[in-house]
Structures are given as structure tokens and as C-alpha cells.
Structure 1
Amino acid sequence: MKLQNFLPTGHFWDNALSILNARKRLGYFPNPRKPRSFNEHILAQKWAFRGDLALASRVTDKAEVKKWLSEIGMEHLIVPTLGVYKNTWDIEAFHFEGELIAKSTHGSGEALIRTAQNGKAFSLEDLEVFRSWFSEDYYKRSREPNYKGLSKRIIVEPLLRDETGNPPKDFKFFCADGEPFAVQVDHGRYTHHTRQLYDTSWQLLPYSMCYDRNPVPMRKPVLLDKALEAARQLSKGFGFVRVDFYFMPSGLKLGEMTFFPGNGAERFSPAEGDAQLGRQIRKVSFTADQTAGMQKRKA
């Protein structure tokens, strides 16, 4: 178990640990009080969250976000749910069919993909994995405030497949003050993982983060404009949020909403991409502030 699970929580400790983690991984001391780089902007949101933190916690929860989508009239984005479980006994007793994926509603990154046989999808080893998920407090591990106090549950969904028969690519829209400014696309997640970043006009950017950059541009997705508009609606009211979509033959489906990608400590390649993407956040936020000011003066 990681050391941060045993250290005190609260604003000071959460931010101190986050800054030290970023220093170790990035090679420079980030300044969240005067953010310039992309990672500093992410850490700045930990220092002083911009937006409704209670709503951010709700949409972080992989089950609660679906209720929220229904409330705001965006049911078409919801991935179907096979079940939400508070313990492993209920999972073991449930009768499943077909391909499915299990995730924790309160954590990040965990997933099991299985195919049910005779109604049973999960082995005894899988149930042990679920017990470890139930025991984890992702807030203590990451110090991301939106995870604090989330109910610990497992959500099971049908496994999505695109027109090629493969699990769909997820397109991750970086948004600042309700406006998308970059799109992340991952390739070969289960083979040779590479990553691309595009601007909103679908121009491939000359840097990547965390994984090697795939230099071959993708064709502009048919659903890009619809996804940009949906990202604007979902990100409204937050300083920064990454909105993830699956592009399906039937339309868009929401994957998740992430407020602290990489925990503010993802290395860029080349390194100057960190500063370049940070400038994009400032540009978008400055435009949003100007627009808000003009609207106030008109009112």
C-alpha cells in the first residue's frame, strides 16, 4: 500500500504531496499559485477548485453521472448498466450474459473485461480483485478532492464494440471554462500504446503526454462536431475538466469526466508540450473571462 494512504489528509497535506509527486515525475518544481504549464494548471485546480466541487464529485462517480445525464436531458450519452453492487456476494449471485466490463464507481483505472458462461462472469480470483477495489480509498491515494467520500461500489456494463468489432477508441476532450481546446486519442491500448493530441480543428499537435506520439494523423472523426458541442455543455461551470466519449456507430456515449488527468504529473514528449498546452488553457480562459465581462456590461 502506498505511503500517502497513511499520511494526514486535508488541504495542506493533499497539495504538498501532489506537488512533491509532480516534482519527482516532471523534473521541475510546479507552482500551482501561478500556473503556466498544463500540469501546473491541473495542480492549481487542486489548490483552489474552480466550479461546483459537489457536482464534480457526483459526476466522478461512474453510476451517479448517469443519473445526472438523465436530469439534464442527455440520456443518449448513457452507456447501459447491468448492475451496481455494494458487495461481492451480490455480484456472485447475479446472472450475466455476454461480454461485459466491471469497474469501481469510486476509483480510477480499474477494469475487468469478461464473457459470461452459464450466467457466471467472474471467477473467485476476480471477486478478490473486487474486494481490493472496495478496500481502496482513491482520494487518499491521489489526493483528488472530487473522490473524497464517494460510495464504494462496482458497476457492470455491457462491453461496447465499434463497427470494426473492437472496443471503441475513447476521445478525450480537454475543456477550460466550458470550451474544448484539445483532444486526446489513444491507440493500441492493449498492444503498443501510443497517444495523439489534436486541436479542435483536428490538426495533430507536435507533442504527446505520458506515451509515445503516433506521428500518423487520423482522419477527422464524423462525430467530432457533435462531441465538441456535447463537451461544451457538460464542462460548463468548471475551470478544467476532461470529457471522455466513445464514438459508436449509434452515436456518442460518455466514458467519464476527469478533473485531474495524470494527477498533474504527466510528462510530455517533447517536454515543451507541457508549456504549450498550458498556454492553450490560459488563452481559452482569457477569452471566456472577456466574454463574461462583456455580457455583464450589457446586462
Structure 2
Amino acid sequence: MLLVRIDPRDLPHRLLAWSRLVARLRSEYRAVHGRRLRLFRPRSYTEKMQWRKAFDRNPAYPRILDKVAVRKRIERRAGADLLVPVQWVGKRPIRIPFDELKAPYVLKSTHACGHVIMVDPDDEPDLPLIRRRARKWLTVDHSLHRAEWGYSKIPPRLVVETRVGGQDPPLERRVFVFGGKAHVVNTVVTEDGRIRNAAFHDLGWNRLQWWFTREPLPGPWPRPDRLDAMIAAAEAVAADLDHARVDFFDGGDQIWIGEVTLYSWSGLSKFSPAQADADLGAAWPLHRPVRRALRTILTRDPVGV
């Protein structure tokens, strides 16, 4: 039985706002995937991601998505040796201590995606330009971009991280965890400044012929030396979540957790073959989606409209 307290004066406005969000999600989903979104009874991975965006109000999500706050979870569950070193955290770009920073480093916002400036040892960074960009980042509410609720509760800040691996950046390994168990690993490389999802493997390191956006790079891709450690750490960090993607930097003999991702590609990247979307969706244990969605609709305001 669904028992919630509802203020009848708020209900018409709230239902109208929710209808707009549902229409937005369905429109965006159809534009990418070419099919109707089963939002209230989702099956595929990308459908369940739309459900999470709209209806899952897990209070832990903002702390997980915050690139600084999540460090406590990583340290507590996987160990401090997996943390990327941090050189500075703050709210005011004018106070970034550029004279004291040790390159190579990366300046990021803590509350959004895609806010990244890399500085190498031989660079002569345009500091006024960097500060202007950082000030602009601080005005962004990333939750509005793709209706991802978890970002709406993160205080905007800046962080400077040491770029691990030196000037030769390590590979990225993204471990998909469902119900506390790792399922697949996505290896990522950067080509000409562009991120490319090079390969997917199962936990036995068998190549999966999955891709999206761009076809995968040819192999072979050797089994990572620290694969077992990555899997164990990912499962520890995501143990209490129905799904999370734990992103590692793989330096061969050393690994670091870069971040924990809850809204992978916002569910708006098209997998090939379609069975990949179905397989990941089947692994995601999403319980009572209709009841939970109705509770959120009746008691919470939507984000992204």
C-alpha cells in the first residue's frame, strides 16, 4: 500500500511539472534510441537510467557525485591509497594558488561533468582565462542539463587534482557494478583529445563486441595486472547501491579511483548491438519501479523542467 501525505493545493502544479519532465525524457530517448521509452516499467539499461534520473532520490547520491565528498566513501570502503592526490579545493577562482601547484594537474568543478582544464609541466597557462572559465563553471546547475537530480544538491566548488601517471596518462577502466557485484569493464583511451570507449570485457576478460558512438579499437587488450583489485574496490565502493560505475585510472602497478558515476552517459548513448543494452538492464536490480515512481511524483518536485 502506498501511503503518503499530500497537500492538495500543490498537486495540480506538481503533476503538470512531472508531465513535462516525462515528455522531455521520452522525447530525448526516442531521438537517440528510435523507440518508445518504457519509463515506469523499464527493462533495458538506458531505460532504467531514465527512471533513475527522474524518480530515484537516494540521499547518498549528491555525496557520491560530488568529486570531493566522494573521497570519504572511497577511503572508508577501499582505502586511502586509491585516492587521486588533491592539491587544492575552494570556491573562489581568484584564490587558486597557481604558483604553488605542481604540474601536471587538472582543474575541475566538483558539481558537474565536462569541466576540466589540464596543465602540463611545460605549459604557460592563461591564468585570467582559466579563472574566467572557472567562475562560469560555478554558475552551472548541471542537474538541468539532462534532468539528473543528484547534481541539484551539490554545492559548487573547484578542485585541483594531481594528474596521476605523469605526462603519459594511464588507461581508464570503468567497472559497472550492479547490486554490489561487478559485471563488465569498459576500457577507455584518449585519441586526439577525444574520449574513446575502446573495449568492453566481462570479468573473465573475454572481449565483448559492444560499442557506441564510435566502433571499438581493435585488440588485443591484455588483462590488467590489477583487475582483481579494481573489481574488489569497485564492489566495496558500490556495495549499497543497485548500480554504480566506478571509474579507475590504471597505471599498471598502481590504480586510483577517479570518480563514481551514477548517470552513465545519461542513458542517451546508443549501444551496439542492442543486446548489450538489454544485458546491462537485466543485471540492474531495480525493485518496485512503479510504486517508487508514484511516491516521488506525489511528494517531490521534478528536476529539469
Output the TM-score relative to the length of structure 1: 0.81
**What's 2:4 paired with?**
none
Task: Kindly indicate whether residue 58 of structure 2 is the aligned counterpart of residue 53 of structure 1.
Answer: yes
Does 1:18 find its partner at 2:22? no
In the alignment, is residue 185 of structure 1 matched against residue 172 of structure 2?
Answer: no
| RMSD, aligned CA | 2.7
**Aligned residue for 1:174?**
176
Does residue 255 of the first structure (1) align with residue 262 of the second (2)? Answer: no
Q: Larger deviation: 27-36 or 256-265? A: 27-36
Relative contact order (alpha carbons < 8 A, sep ≥ 6): 1 or 2 greater? 2
Asked if 1:82 is matched to 2:84, the reply is: no
- Which of 199, 206, 210 lines up with 1:207 in the alignment? 210
Q: Is the 8 A contact 1:18 1:263 kept in 2?
A: no
Kindly indicate whether residue 138 of structure 2 is the aligned counterpart of residue 134 of structure 1.
Answer: yes
Contact 2:40 2:51 in 1 (8 A): yes
How far is 1:211 from its partner?
A: 2.6
Structure 1: gaps of 5 or more residues? 1-7, 287-299
Cα deviation code 1:208-239 (max 9, x no counterpart): 12332223230110111111111111111111
Change (3 A) 1:228 1:9: farther
Question: 2 CA distance for matches of 1:36 and 1:98?
Answer: 45
- Residue 246 of structure 2 aligns with which residue? 243
Identity within the alignment, %:
23
> What amino acid sits opposite 1:91 in the alignment?
I
* Residue among 124, 127, 143 paired with 2:147: 143
Could you list the structure 1 runs, at least 4 aligned residues long, displaced by more than 4 angstroms after superposition: 8-15
1:5 alignment counterpart: none
Is the CA contact 2:242–2:284 (under 8 Å) kept in the aligned structure 1? no
1:266 aligns with 2:297: no
Q: What is the Cα deviation at residue 251 of structure 1?
A: 2.3
**Corresponding letter in the other structure for 1:188:** T
Residue 108 of structure 1 and its aligned partner are, at CA, apart by: 0.8
On the 8 A contact 1:180/1:228 being kept in 2, the answer is yes
Per the normalisation by structure 2, the TM-score is 0.80
Is the contact between residue 100 and residue 158 of structure 1 (CA under 8 Å) also seen in structure 2? yes
Q: 2-side partners of 1:92 and 1:171: how far apart?
A: 31
- 1:197 maps to 2:204: no
Contact 1:181 1:281 in 2 (8 A): no
- The residue that corresponds to 1:41 in the other structure is 48
Distance 1:260 1:243, change over 3 A: same
1:73 and 1:227 map into 2 onto residues whose CA distance is: 10
User: What one-letter code is carried by the residue in structure 2 that aligns with 1:260?
Assistant: Y
- More displaced 10-residue stretch of structure 1: 109-118 or 151-160: 109-118
Query: 1:67 offset after TM fit, Å?
Result: 2.6
The one-letter code of the counterpart of 1:156 is V
Q: Is the 8 A contact 1:181 1:199 kept in 2?
A: yes
Q: Is the 8 A contact 2:77 2:236 kept in 1?
A: no
User: Structure 1's 87 and 186: CA in aligned 2 closer, same or farther, altered over 3 A?
Assistant: same
